[in-house]
Amino acid sequence: MTILPLTTRLTSSLSLVTRALKRRDVYRKLSEMDGHMLKDIGLSRLDVEAMRRMW
């Protein structure tokens, strides 16, 4: 019996958790911005909400 499948699954799971935490952080930062700041970077409040639902 090898440990490789277990380490592969563990690495994959950690990668998914890390990606989710980064996305949550980006969404939080975008949510803190007002409409003018979002417009300056080419986004709207609707874009931010759509992004949240897609993630």
Digitized pLDDT (tens) for each residue of the chain, 55 residues in all: 566 788 888 999 999 999 999 999 999 999 999 999 999 999 999 999 998 888 7
**Per-residue pLDDT at 2:** 62
Kindly state whether residue 45 falls inside one of the protein's structural domains.
Answer: yes
pTM reported for the whole predicted model: 0.67
Domain around 51: 25-55
Q: What is the per-residue pLDDT for 55?
A: 72
Per-residue pLDDT at 1: 53
- The verdict on residue 4 lying in a domain is no
For residue 13, is it within any domain?
A: no
45 neighbors 38 (Cβ within 8 angstroms) = yes
Q: What beta strand segments (E) does the chain contain?
A: none
- Compute the distance between CA of residue 51 and CA of residue 9 in angstroms, rounded to an integer: 27
Total structural domains in the chain? 1
Q: Report if residue 9 sits inside a domain.
A: no
